[in-house]
Amino acid sequence: MKKIITTMAVVALLSSTTVFSAQQSSVVQADIDAFQGHFKKKFSHLSLNDFSKGPYAVSEDKMGQFEAVMEMPPFEDHIEKGEKLWKTAFKNGKTYSSCFSGGDETIRTQFPRWNTAESKVDTLEQSIVDCRVKNGEKKISTGKGKLAWMSAYLTTIAEGQTINVIVPEGDVKALAAYKDGKKFFYAKRGQLNLSCANCHIDFAGQRIRGDTLSPALGHITHFPVWRGKWAKKKGDGFGTIQRRYGGCNKQVRAKPFKRHKKEYDNLEYFHTVMSNGMEISGTEYRQ
């Protein structure tokens, strides 16, 4: 098992009076091995990083569609807007980068992360909003719009970097948050009585209403994404992973949770950990 310890993980751990090991929880590592092993066996012709292409990786026709769109991505102007917003100074002269450690290209892979001092999961998008408030600026809406553009910019410049989210060994609260996210992923809900796992593990690669269900492995590697479906709704097409969670809940006819509360934060924690070892693929198109 690789033991890659990011600067931010160390800072978060040392900020608490109780210092836990930054080594991955053995319980969690067993889950990662089983989760990834399932998909490697089911789709034995794919490499680990192939799963970042979601439904396109398991459908030749879909891959052709994806490659055609990505030749001239319909979202490049919004990535540029996100970069401009990110680099524009606040009224106090500071920029978003002042709230984060390391180079901007490393920020995407630092999240989500366990905040030992506050006993909660920190997500990238919420941290960006918190940065604004800390610097005397107003909050901005989550899920899409300007926040998604900036987050997509960070995903774009992080392309090729490896995901390595840690659930610290010995941190009972961190493990509890991870297990809460895992429970959410496997719990059935809504009038259709379906779980995330039903669609994206049990039926991954199969067709539903003309769509191919994507494998859960690698979901997190390309968010925020630009979706044709979202663009048709008079939007700019961008959405964060938590916007997608809300949409999935609606599709099974369940009431979505509020973004950046513990339900979706913990789900994002678990969901991202399952893709440890994969590379960020950059901002991508989804139908």
Instruction: Give the pLDDT of residue 139.
Output: 96
| Token pair belonging to 61 | 């026709």
Question: Model-level pTM?
Answer: 0.91
Please report the pLDDT score of residue 228 as a whole number. 92
- Enter the tokens of residue 77: 């102007």
- With b for 16 or more beta-carbon neighbours within 10 A and e for fewer, the 252-270 pattern comes to bebeebebbebbbbbbbbb
- Structural domains in the chain? 7-286 (1.10.760.10)
Active-site residue flag, 196: no
The per-residue b/e assignment along 100-109, b for 16 or more CB within 10 angstroms, e otherwise, is beeebebbbb
Give yes or no for a contact between 256 and 198, defined as CB atoms under 8 angstroms apart. Answer: no
Question: What 3-state class would DSSP assign to 99?
Answer: helix
Residue 161 and residue 155: Cα distance in Å, rounded?
Answer: 10
List the structure tokens of 189: 């809900």
Per-residue pLDDT of 216-241, as tens digits, reads 999 999 999 999 999 988 779 999 99
Task: Report the length, in residues, of the chain.
Answer: 287
pLDDT score, position 234? 73
pLDDT for residue 36 = 98
For position 227, what pLDDT does the model report?
95
| End-to-end CA separation in angstroms for the chain | 35
Residues 172/184, Cβ–Cβ less than 8 Å: no
Q: Supply 107's token pair.
A: 């920020």
Point out the catalytic residue in the list 99, 196, 199, 248: 248
Q: Print pLDDT tens along the chain (287 aa).
A: 333 333 333 333 333 333 344 799 999 999 999 999 999 999 999 999 999 999 999 988 889 999 999 999 999 999 999 999 999 999 999 999 999 999 999 999 999 999 999 999 999 999 999 999 999 999 999 999 999 999 999 999 999 999 999 999 999 999 999 999 999 999 999 999 999 999 999 999 998 887 899 999 999 999 999 999 999 887 799 999 999 999 999 999 999 999 999 999 999 999 999 999 999 999 999 98
User: HSE of 190 in the Cβ direction (CA atoms, 13 Å)?
Assistant: 18
Give the per-residue pLDDT at 210. Answer: 78
d(CA 11, CA 4): 14
